[in-house]
């Protein structure tokens, strides 16, 4: 009986220790997100592609994207190594600087990013610093599709950097 009680007492500790040590991989558990003003400036300083996740609080697909795609280890690692990840909600109050020196509202910035053709939510904007080009990709994307989008952006960047 004592052995059973001991085993039952020690089992949660063993499971907890295993769970704790399994988290020691090289992959951080979250994407490092920046606000627009900080992230856009940082992307240009570091010469990294800015990925701007344009979302709203009420958007169901935005939440699915966060929960499924942006929680994937390979997406997290790729974002944190190669990109500056920016979260931007155009419905929140605030002023934004897109490098022009003008202070824009969230709606004005959305229109500027989308060339006056905003899509639905979520929409992703990819800013490539070498060409100062902005690419707009609307909609929800699972891990496989979003990885393909990142591949295309990286291929474009490589083609203009040579």
Helix (H/G/I), strand (E/B), else coil: 93: coil
Helix 143-161 / helix 73-82 crossing angle, nearest 10 deg: 20
In the chain, the percentage of residues whose pLDDT exceeds 70 is 81
C-beta of residue 115 within 8 angstroms of C-beta of residue 145: no
- Give the architecture-level CATH label for domain 27-161: 3-Layer(aba) Sandwich (3.40)
Q: What is the maximum span of the chain, computed from C-alpha positions, in angstroms?
A: 75
pLDDT tens for each residue of 27-59: 458 999 999 999 999 999 999 999 999 999 999
pTM of the model: 0.80
- Which pLDDT does position 18 carry in this prediction? 37
3-state secondary structure of 145: helix
């Amino acid at each position: 009986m004592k052995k059973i009680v001991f085993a039952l007492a020690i089992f949660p500790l063993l499971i907890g220790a295993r769970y704790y040590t399994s988290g020691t991989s090289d992959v951080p558990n979250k994407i490092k997100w920046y606000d627009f003003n900080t992230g856009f400036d940082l992307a240009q300083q570091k010469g990294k592609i800015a990925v701007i996740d344009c979302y709203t609080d009420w958007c169901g697909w935005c939440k699915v994207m966060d929960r499924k795609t942006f929680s994937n280890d390979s997406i997290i690692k790729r974002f944190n190594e190669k990109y500056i990840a920016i979260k931007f909600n155009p419905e929140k109050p605030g002023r934004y600087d897109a490098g022009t020196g003008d202070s824009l509202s969230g709606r004005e910035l959305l229109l500027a990013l989308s060339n006056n053709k905003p899509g639905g939510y979520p929409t992703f904007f990819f800013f490539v610093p070498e060409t100062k080009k902005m690419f707009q990709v609307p909609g929800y994307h699972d891990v496989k599709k979003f990885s393909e989008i990142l591949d295309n952006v990286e291929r474009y960047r490589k083609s203009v950097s040579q």
